[in-house]
Amino acid sequence: MLLVENVKKSYREPDGSTLAILDIPRLAVDAGEQLVIRGRSGGGKTTFLNAIAGLASVDAGRIVLDGTDITRIPEVGRDRFRARHIGFVFQTFNLLAGFTAFENVLLGMTFTGQPRDSKRAINLLGRVELGHRLSHKPAALSVGEQQRVAVARALVNRPMLLLADEPTANIDPAHQQQVIDLLREVCRDENVAMLLVTHADEVSNQFERVEHLEELNRVVAE
């Protein structure tokens, strides 16, 4: 379902030199598969996720999702593709403070170009046990509740792939497992492939497939 081949990404430094970030020969993820990528801080995990999501362009290689090579389509096309087929759960939740829980989830539907499905949004929020907090803004929600809203937002469009960048990093240990369980359960029920990035052992130990960025990324390996 997801194929990353010979992807390279580098940044130009202020002094004109080039700093290589990614050099990934190959990574494949099947439909519905749940995969963890581990790596140390600064190893390019977020850049890798951004490249897969189409938020960052790559210098070489291809990223094919369900037959579509997103490196070959223009930025506008990548944006629309991402809106419809890729869900993103961020480390810092990234909810919009001025919008209610319901509106934050609806925002996930706004840019797909398709009619919004309010019932789907409400059902998902019920699924993450926030059916009674629809009209609450993030400031009125606990950290765990905010992350659950973010999970609902990421899944509202029935994406093929869910990207989760350190989803439990800002959650207290008592609730971290709840979030992981929720992610895995919902992705499994909706047959959504999940690629979760973490540096925490207690999270990665729960997954059958764990990849190490140091092994995937030739830049880090070298």
Nearer to another protein, 3 or 55 (CB): 55
Among 62, 80, 184, 212, binds another protein (CB under 8 A): 80
CA–CA gap between residue 186 and residue 198 (Å, rounded) = 19
- Which one of the spans 90-98, 141-149, 188-196, 202-210 is the region binding another protein (CB under 8 A)? 90-98
Q: List C-alpha distances in Å: 66 to 45, 47, 63, 85, 160.
A: 22, 21, 10, 9, 8
What value, to the nearest 5°, has the Cα angle with vertex 106 and ends 104 and 109? 125
Selected range binding another protein among 91-99, 122-130, 191-199, 200-208, rule: CB under 8 A: 91-99
Query: Cα(63)–Cα(5) distance, rounded to whole angstroms?
Result: 6
- How far out from the chain centre does Cα 144 lie? 17
Pairing, β 2-12 against β 18-29: antiparallel
Q: Distance (Å, rounded) from C-alpha 56 to C-alpha 78?
A: 10
Confirm or reject binding of residue 110 to another protein (CB under 8 A): yes
d(CA 53, CA 50): 5
Per-residue contact flags (x/-) with another protein for residues 5 to 44, judged by CB under 8 A: ------x---------------------------------
Question: How far apart are CB 79 and another protein at their closest, in Å?
Answer: 4
Stretch that binds another protein, among 102-110, 141-149, 174-182, 193-201 (CB under 8 A): 102-110
Residue from 82, 127, 133, 148 binding another protein (CB under 8 A): 82
Nearer to another protein, 133 or 207 (CB): 133
Please identify, using beta-carbon distances, which residue of 97 and 174 lies nearer to another protein. 97
Quickly list DSSP for 158-203: --SEEEEESTTTTS-HHHHHHHHHHHHHHHHHTT-EEEEEE--HHH
Largest Cα–Cα distance of the chain, in whole Å? 54
Interface pattern 150-169 for another protein (x via CB under 8 A)? ---x----------------
**Rounded CA Rg of the chain:** 17
**Interface stretch with another protein, choices 30-38, 81-89, 169-177, 189-197 (CB under 8 A):** 81-89
Residues binding another protein (CB under 8 A): 11, 46-47, 50, 53, 55-56, 75-76, 79-80, 82-84, 88, 90, 94-99, 103, 106-112, 116, 153
